[in-house]
């Protein structure tokens, strides 16, 4: 069976072909056309501009993903959450193709896609027998979401907690902008943080000691703003400070994410901890989580996707789609609409 995945929830136009044969997965193609450079000049994603670009590249991206394959057996498309104008391009394309080809069309939640990215392995390689040990605690950290979810089985989700204000990725992007770094801010901060001293400028760790699983990152962003403003006012701000603030900021975000995830995993007696979303591309976060899990939850299995599968892609949508498909729901009968605020749990 061949599943065509389509993803256009934000500023990546993506299509991927996932082949499933006797329980083995093969990622035949994984095409991502990113608009990052286009939006960089605005310092963030402009929905109207994103939609126009999706329209331009959607069909060429799908054609490239299909290669010599004339018709897939099923389509899985991101139906939400995301920017409505962006979502609609992928959905309308998927609906048209599914109608023409007379094949099922599966709506996939974007966050669920980030979870199932954990089952993917490198392009053109066979994935090992993909399994998730339940119950699993999932940490989702992206530009729009910061959530801890309890997953008790395929399709069984319970929200443990989420951010009350900014998402962690959004906070990376805003801090980067305050520090005069480009968009997206995550990779820029991560690069500078590598050579910085995280102890030079102490920053707050919001809500790190609360017993819930909620987050708050806007105070951290404000702390960076005041610090940079003060240093600039005193005419002290230099490159070494920029580098050290990056290290300190990144360390603060990681401390909070790791502490809350470990607490949630302990409390729920999780057998595995899965991570997903663009911020998981942060190597320091993955390393710290690995150390903490080894020390505090040695029996739990930690999983995070390869870097290329952390940020938005359609392979993860195809993979999540497969786990819906095997439930044998009748997708032909389903009316598929964009759901910009679709909550997974």
Can you tell me which of 11, 12, 244, 312 binds Zn ion, judged by CB under 5 A?
312
Can you tell me which of 35, 78, 142, 261 binds Zn ion, judged by CB under 5 A?
142
Stretch that binds ligand KG4, among 120-128, 271-279, 292-300, 332-340 (CB under 6 A): 271-279
Cα angle for residues 112, 205, 149 (degrees, 5° grid): 20
Can you tell me which of 25, 116, 157, 172 binds ligand KG4, judged by CB under 6 A?
172
Stretch that binds ligand KG4, among 49-57, 148-156, 196-204, 277-285 (CB under 6 A): 277-285
Question: Does 10 help bind ligand KG4 (rule: CB under 6 A)?
Answer: yes
Question: Does 340 help bind ligand KG4 (rule: CB under 6 A)?
Answer: no
Three-state DSSP state, 122: coil
Question: Does 258 help bind ligand KG4 (rule: CB under 6 A)?
Answer: no
Place of tokens 């520090």: 179
Q: Rank residues 72 and 82 by Cβ distance to ligand KG4 and give the closer one.
A: 82
Residues with Cβ within 8 Å of residue 309, at least 6 apart in sequence: 117, 120, 315, 316
**Size of site (CB under 6 A) for ligand KG4:** 20
Cβ atoms of residues 66 and 72 within 8 Å: yes
- Residue 298 is classified by DSSP as T
Q: Concatenated DSSP letters for 150-211?
A: EEEETTEEEEEEEBSS--HHHHHHHHHHHTT--SSHHHHHHHHHTTS-TTSS----TTTT-S
Can you tell me which of 190, 254, 262, 338 binds ligand KG4, judged by CB under 6 A?
190
> Can you tell me the distance from the alpha carbon of 271 to that of 267, in angstroms, rounded to the nearest whole number?
11
- What residues line the site for ligand KG4 (CB under 6 A)? 10, 142-144, 169-170, 172-173, 184-187, 190, 277-279, 281-282, 311-312
- What residues line the site for Zn ion (CB under 5 A)? 142, 312
């Amino acid at each position: 069976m061949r599943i065509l995945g389509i993803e256009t929830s934000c500023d990546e136009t993506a299509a991927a072909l996932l082949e499933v044969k006797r329980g083995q997965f093969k990622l035949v193609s994984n095409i991502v056309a990113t608009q990052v450079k286009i939006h960089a000049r605005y310092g963030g994603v402009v929905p109207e501009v994103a939609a126009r670009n999706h329209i331009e590249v959607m069909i060429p991206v799908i054609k490239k993903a299909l290669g010599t394959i004339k018709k897939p057996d099923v389509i899985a498309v991101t139906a939400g959450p995301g920017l409505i104008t962006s979502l609609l391009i992928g959905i309308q394309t998927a609906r048209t193709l599914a109608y023409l080809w007379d094949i099922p069309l599966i709506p996939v939640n974007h966050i669920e896609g980030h979870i199932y990215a954990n089952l993917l392995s490198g392009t053109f390689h066979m994935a090992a027998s993909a399994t998730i040990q339940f119950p699993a605690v999932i940490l989702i950290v992206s530009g729009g979401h910061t959530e801890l979810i309890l997953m008790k089985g395929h399709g069984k989700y319970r929200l443990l907690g989420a951010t009350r204000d900014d998402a962690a990725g959004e906070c990376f992007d805003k801090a980067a902008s305050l520090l005069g770094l480009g968009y997206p801010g995550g990779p820029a901060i991560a690069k500078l943080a590598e050579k910085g001293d995280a102890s030079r400028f102490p920053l707050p760790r919001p809500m790190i000691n609360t017993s819930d699983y909620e987050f708050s990152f806007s105070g951290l962003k404000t702390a960076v703003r005041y610090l940079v403003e003060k240093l600039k006012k005193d005419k002290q701000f230099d490159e070494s400070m920029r580098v050290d603030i990056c290290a300190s900021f990144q360390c603060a975000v990681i401390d909070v994410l790791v502490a809350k995830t470990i607490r949630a995993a302990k409390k729920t007696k999780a057998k595995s901890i899965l991570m997903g979303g663009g911020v998981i591309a942060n190597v320091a976060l993955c390393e710290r989580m690995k150390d903490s899990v080894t020390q505090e939850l040695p029996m739990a299995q930690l999983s995070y996707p390869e870097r290329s599968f952390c940020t938005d892609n359609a392979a993860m949508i195809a993979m999540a789609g497969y786990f819906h498909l095997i439930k044998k729901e009748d997708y032909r009968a389903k009316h598929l609409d964009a759901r910009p605020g679709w909550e997974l749990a």
